[in-house]
Structure 1
Amino acid sequence: MKGLLIDGQLVEAPRTTVSYNPTTGEVLGEAPDASVEQAKAAVAAARRAFDTTDWSTNVEFRVRCLRQFYDGLVKHREELRELTIAEVGHPRQMTYGAALDVPIDIVKYYTDLLEGYSFTEELPEVESYGIKNRRWVEKEAAGVVSAIIPYNYPTQIAIAKVAPALAAGCTVILKGAPQTPLITLALGEIIANETDIPAGVVNVITSPSVEVAEVLTSDPDVDMITFTGSTPVGRRIMEVASKTVKKVFLELGGKSALIAVDDADADFLALIATMTICSHAGQGCAVTSRLLVPAARKDEFVAKVKDAIGNVKIGDPALEETYVGPLISADQREKVDAMVQRAVAAGATLVAGGEKIDGPGYFYAPTVLADVDPESEIAQDEVFGPVLAIIAYDGDDEAVAIANNSIFGLSGSVFGADDDRAIAIARRIRTGTVSVNGGNWFAPDSPFGGYKQSGIGREMGVAGLEEFLERKTLAVPVK
């Protein structure tokens, strides 16, 4: 069993929790279930490390430790790959991208960025009461950070939080998702065994306990919370954090729209829509789960999507050819199925899928629903499963209005024959990222985050580093 990382030591917990393989439904392993006291100890260790060591000011040392972390991830890459497939259910081919390999590169990106980043910004001199003043801004680490991650992309999201936080000079308590504790604990082992990161700078805990999570969000020694997960939980974190006015970063839910412009290539669009909704079985906050098609071409697009989704390979994620793996749990599969059945009962047309797949594991058939009311539950609420809702529209203005008719604003896509027209539509969509004609925005240097109830702040890129910095303005008379 892997250990919690608290104050530089890998330790056991008084209880354990089980991690299941979603492909088979069988127990994969046991993980320590941290106690409230251990959560408090992790916070205290991070506080001490921030307040009493030179971690926050020694840039050269931080660069060296981040390079060691990167090297450790590369060294253990294949072990992490197999664990990711087994515990998260990511198809193997996805581990060569966002599930593993790109996250490893995020560490390198922030290490390289840190080497050339200026933590001081000079302002113009000003004269006050006949005296000239030199002014400048210093960027300092925000302090102790609680980083709380979900199950769907645990390595990517953990590293997108931990790497820039460490680069900024913060200390961190990383809490893994209850469904995928082993992969997060493996990151803690690499930090403990492969780096010179001082005791207390990074602490890694796992627990399904709400009380443990509340420690990380309410303890006055925590200066900042970075959370990725559902919007309801994000609202709760804001509420708890408000009592001590903590800095909060939130990356929450999404109900992103893919707009097919009236001159879009139906074959290409159907392929992209299918590949996106089926990616990690739809368990992605930025997945475009609403497909908006021109009413005059609705039947054509529906038929093309039905054909494309019927060709997707579903099965064992360990196989290279598999594109759709399992959902994370039996409960999640029941939730997805219940939403699909309610959508059909409410008037949506079931085009494909709409059923649980028999056998071991938590597989659900990729599903297409047409004739979807844009105000309905299936069009408004996050499903987190391979379910595509097709909505017809008349004219570009209505397409934009439907796309923006959501409490969320995380991502989106636009497809059309004319790049300029598609870009013009994309600029009207109120989301943090938009892909135009298949353009890929995802990379370590690309800021990611949402509008509205999809969150606050940006992760990755220079913006992702600066989320973990505070600005202090100083002035001194010029002599």
Structure 2
Amino acid sequence: MAVKRLLIDGRLVETGRTFSSLNPATGEVLGEAPDATVADAEAAVEAARRAFDTTRWATDREFRVKCLNQLYQALNKHKEDLRELTIAEVGAPRVSTHGAGLDEPIELVRYYADLVAGLPETEELGEIEVRGQRHRRWVEKLPAGVVTAITAYNYPTQLALAKLAPALAAGCTVVLKGAPDTPLITLALGELIASDTEIPPGVVNVLTSSEIAVGEVLTTHPGVDMVTFTGSTPTGRKIMAAASETVKKVFLELGGKSAMIVLDDADFGLAAMVASFTICSHSGQGCAITSRMLVPRAHHDAIVEQVAAMLGQVRYGDPSDADNYMGPLISERQRDKVDAMVKRAVEAGATLVTGGEKVDPGYYYKPTLLSNVDPSSEVAQEEVFGPVLAVIPFDDDDDAVRIANDSIYGLSGGVYGADQERALSVARRIRTGTIGVNGGAWFAPDAPFGGFKQSGIGREMGVAGLEEFQERKTLAVVVA
């Protein structure tokens, strides 16, 4: 695979050094990515600053819509190439690329092009009388400015476009930094922007780097107005602290430890199936995945037996094979982390029902079920980011709510029960940004996504996702 290039100030550029991207299904080198330096990061920020301050991008909404539609067409034109790259670099099973792995993120671009084209740019507040004069007041929605967008490895196209599309629609300019584990797919987006759209030089800049210092530039540079980051909560805390030095606007989409609550009147077989296939979705590498299954204490053993049977039916292996539902973890480092957490959970008293094994070659880990998990234990409190489901017993509805909310996270969750009103009542008490009842699907371009507590600040997607990249200016004139 040819070495891809950075996009800086409208030019596709190579650097004097590269780093390898590995295929997680084999552990072999897939390709080389340019290893951006601090100087490259500074050049990208300066280009974005210049494009925002001196071009028509921030003020010409019609032109922005045109360019977003060009990007949408380009993504669809090259979709199959992007699909194969996503499978090879991310380890995403083919089936997932027809959803959140690729196809659904592409639709975000069209959604925001259509949304911004139809939204009013001003909000009238009406007139007031002050000292005998009438004053007309209104609010104008303006772009936040230069945005640095830093993404994680698990869904690189979704995470990039969920930031890029609304930021561009709002009139911002962007420096996008891809995750070191999945640089090639992010660089491919930059190449499409450069070759297939009229987006002006500097409006979008795309970097990949193995240097921590590059991320530090992007979060502290005085030319940056806003930082948006998706990744772990510990890293999010550091970014928030770094951005505070220049009081940047910060938008964080961080970790989760979401709970699926199975009430005593639920269809246990259905809940077991959903829990099993959800935890194996992209090998558990999803921040909103329900990795805690809360079950009635009296039915704990029966439900665990059903979940174990379902996990045994999950096909895993080569992600390019359409028959496989689960692929590998992203790296040996991540697999070692998952395996170590499982071992510590067993040492702490949890029961290993099935799984808990590495599978070679590649970075595969068997679907894993832990039962009788203490809700205060590490595996119940910390994000594993692997195919590991922790089953926790509860006594009644109040106990289930207490356990679900006993977390620093508050991203997502689910409730299952035959009495929908009761299930909804429980769901409303869970402090999370999204939640599904009896399998209700909330994920869509128009639905705001984000979390409470240490799961983040702000919302992606929907109108709220656009507003994150806007500032409001209140104006007034004397009319009489």
Task: Report the TM-score, using the length of structure 1 for normalisation.
Answer: 0.99
AA at the equivalent of 1:420: E
- In the alignment, what sits opposite 1:339? 341
- In the alignment, what sits opposite 1:244? 246
- In the alignment, what sits opposite 1:365? 366
- In the alignment, what sits opposite 2:212? 210
Distance 1:143 1:434 in 2: 32
- Secondary structure class of the residue paired with 1:139: strand
Structure 1 position 102 matched with structure 2 position 100:
no
- In the alignment, what sits opposite 1:254? 256
Report how far residue 458 of structure 1 moved.
0.2
AA at the equivalent of 1:373: D
- In the alignment, what sits opposite 1:416? 417
Report how far residue 208 of structure 1 moved.
1.5
Q: In the TM superposition, what are the counterparts of 1:80-91 in structure 2 within 5 Å?
A: 80-91=82-93
Q: In the TM superposition, what are the counterparts of 1:106-125 in structure 2 within 5 Å?
A: 106-125=108-127
Partner of residue 234 from structure 1, selected from 233, 236, 239: 236
- In the alignment, what sits opposite 2:462? 461
AA at the equivalent of 2:146: V
- In the alignment, what sits opposite 2:445? 444
- In the alignment, what sits opposite 1:32? 34
Q: In the TM superposition, what are the counterparts of 1:311-326 in structure 2 within 5 Å?
A: 311-326=313-328
RMSD: 0.5
Report how far residue 324 of structure 1 moved.
0.8
- Secondary structure class of the residue paired with 1:337: helix
Distance 2:455 2:16 in 1: 36
- In the alignment, what sits opposite 1:266? 268
- Secondary structure class of the residue paired with 1:427: helix
What CA deviation, in whole Å up to 9, does each residue of 1:168-226 have, x standing for no partner? 00000000000000000000000000000000000000002110000000000000000
- In the alignment, what sits opposite 1:62? 64
Report how far residue 128 of structure 1 moved.
0.3
- Secondary structure class of the residue paired with 2:7: strand
- Secondary structure class of the residue paired with 2:291: strand
Contact 1:25 1:362 in 2 (8 A): yes
Distance 1:335 1:443 in 2: 31
Distance 2:71 2:226 in 1: 23
Report how far residue 300 of structure 1 moved.
1.0
AA at the equivalent of 1:478: V
Distance 1:450 1:14 in 2: 40
AA at the equivalent of 1:247: K
- Secondary structure class of the residue paired with 2:313: coil
Distance 1:177 1:208 in 2: 9
Distance 1:176 1:418 in 2: 44
- In the alignment, what sits opposite 1:51? 53
Report how far residue 334 of structure 1 moved.
0.4
Once the two structures are aligned, what percentage of the paired residues are identical?
A: 68
Report how far residue 114 of structure 1 moved.
1.1
Distance 2:445 2:162 in 1: 8
- In the alignment, what sits opposite 2:400? 399
Report how far residue 60 of structure 1 moved.
0.4
Q: Number of aligned pairs?
A: 478
Task: Report the TM-score, using the length of structure 2 for normalisation.
Answer: 0.99
Contact 1:14 1:35 in 2 (8 A): no
Report how far residue 299 of structure 1 moved.
1.0
Contact 1:447 1:458 in 2 (8 A): yes
Q: In the TM superposition, what are the counterparts of 1:378-389 in structure 2 within 5 Å?
A: 378-389=379-390
- In the alignment, what sits opposite 1:276? 278
Report how far residue 266 of structure 1 moved.
1.1
Report how far residue 82 of structure 1 moved.
0.2
Report how far residue 14 of structure 1 moved.
2.0
4+ runs of 1 displaced by more than 6 Å?
Answer: none
Structure 1 position 9 matched with structure 2 position 11:
yes
- Secondary structure class of the residue paired with 2:280: helix
- In the alignment, what sits opposite 1:194? 196
Unaligned runs of 5+ in 2: none
Distance 1:395 1:251 in 2: 32
Report how far residue 373 of structure 1 moved.
0.3
